[in-house]
Amino acid sequence: MQKLREESSIPAWSSDEFDSPVSPHIEPAYFDKDLDAWVLSRYEDVLAAFRSSGLGNNGKSLRTTEDDEAMEKMRAEAREALSPAQLRAWSEVITPIIQARAQTLPEGSPVDLLDSYVRPNCLDLAALVTGIDPQEAARLRTLAGTVSAAAAEPYDPALRAEAKSVTPALQACFHARAEALRDSGFVALSHTLPCMLANAFYALLQNPQQWALVHLESGLIEQAIEELMRHAGLGRFLRRQATEDLVIGDAFIRQGDRLILRIIAANHDPVRFAQPHELDVCRRGAAHFTLGAGSHACVGASLLRMASVAMLRPLVELFSSASLTEPVTWQGGSGFRSPKNLPVVLRRDVVS
């Protein structure tokens, strides 16, 4: 299905773009000669890959036992640093800040939801979680943007080189005990999270009746976030490498073979999700792959859920509707894409 890709050597199916007019093309696992990798897009195949003990999550070289031990140590430290008690404590600090910012959003006149709400909230959260000075956070956000841009387009050597050159300066500023809460956590919270929320809010803006549903029923907010993550997603694909011979679906995968997991496609597999291309905030059990799954699932998942709920709640509680004032422009690349800005007009309930 290489013809569906923009470039045969880059795993970027245009149908996996969130704003694509056509649905992601889902097909049985196949070996792609140009990518030198198996390509998985069916939900059940991607799930099998996440669950397989015969796949390492490194697309470049086979992992060693030392790599695995270091990764396990990193996960354990992150789990401890992101304990439920710690998440509650951060939530108590960040929620009033987010609520106050929501109160400043104008009613009835244009505002950029990303610049005025999502990005500053995410930056405050990034500073809080990584333990850096909020003034310093604003400066570091620019450096972090270089790293994020390279993650959004992992096949651009110039972006990669720029990211590599700023990484030491960025790393030097973070001293949290858990590695996941240092520079990489800062990049994820100050840049990746706004991108994911930009997609989520764009999806809600495209579906005003769904915005109205969560406005009327705030009990839907948690499941709405899961559905928005499934529907709007962010990262297009993840990479794996087989550490032993294995079978996934009809594919006989040999040790050393590389795999590409098209997670956006799998999140829209009609075999797993009824009407997969519709945003349905009432959908239950939207077990999506936006934050990965299995033993290497995102360790920041509960933090991201807490933050996403904290940011959606005041918006939909305060405003009964919102509409885009102009078409959005998109940023990013084959790794992930999201709207650059969300120019909107917000409206409160009309009281008669």
Could you list the residues that contact ligand HEM (CB under 6 A)? 57, 71, 75, 78, 180-181, 185, 188-189, 192-193, 196, 234-235, 238, 290-292, 296-300, 303-304
Nearest approach in angstroms of CB 294 to ligand HEM is 7
Q: How far apart are CA 27 and CA 319, in angstroms?
A: 41
In terms of CB distance, is 238 or 328 closer to ligand HEM?
A: 238
In terms of CB distance, is 266 or 346 closer to ligand HEM?
A: 266
Beta-strand ranges (E) seen in the chain are 30-32, 37-40, 55-56, 111-112, 237-242, 246-248, 251-253, 258-262, 321-324, 330-332, 337-339, 343-347
Nearest approach in angstroms of CB 323 to ligand HEM is 25
In terms of CB distance, is 215 or 231 closer to ligand HEM?
A: 231
Nearest approach in angstroms of CB 166 to ligand HEM is 19
Q: How far apart are CA 219 and CA 313, in angstroms?
A: 10
How many CA atoms lie less than 13 Å away from 110 in the CB half-sphere? 6
Q: How far apart are CA 207 and CA 213, in angstroms?
A: 10
Cβ neighbors of 165 (< 8 A, separation 6 or more) are none
Spatial contact of 225 and 312, defined as CB atoms under 8 Å apart: yes
Q: How far apart are CA 117 and CA 100, in angstroms?
A: 10
Nearest approach in angstroms of CB 188 to ligand HEM is 4
Nearest approach in angstroms of CB 299 to ligand HEM is 4
Could you say which DSSP state residue 297 is in?
A: S
Nearest approach in angstroms of CB 36 to ligand HEM is 18
In terms of CB distance, is 307 or 316 closer to ligand HEM?
A: 307
Nearest approach in angstroms of CB 344 to ligand HEM is 21
In terms of CB distance, is 194 or 276 closer to ligand HEM?
A: 194
- The residues that bridge with 251 in the sheet, in sequence order, are 248
In terms of CB distance, is 215 or 258 closer to ligand HEM?
A: 258
In terms of CB distance, is 78 or 113 closer to ligand HEM?
A: 78
Nearest approach in angstroms of CB 103 to ligand HEM is 25
The residue written with tokens 């928005």 in the block is: 228
Taken in order 314, 229, 14, 142, is the CA torsion positive or negative? positive
Spatial contact of 122 and 307, defined as CB atoms under 8 Å apart: yes
Spatial contact of 210 and 336, defined as CB atoms under 8 Å apart: no
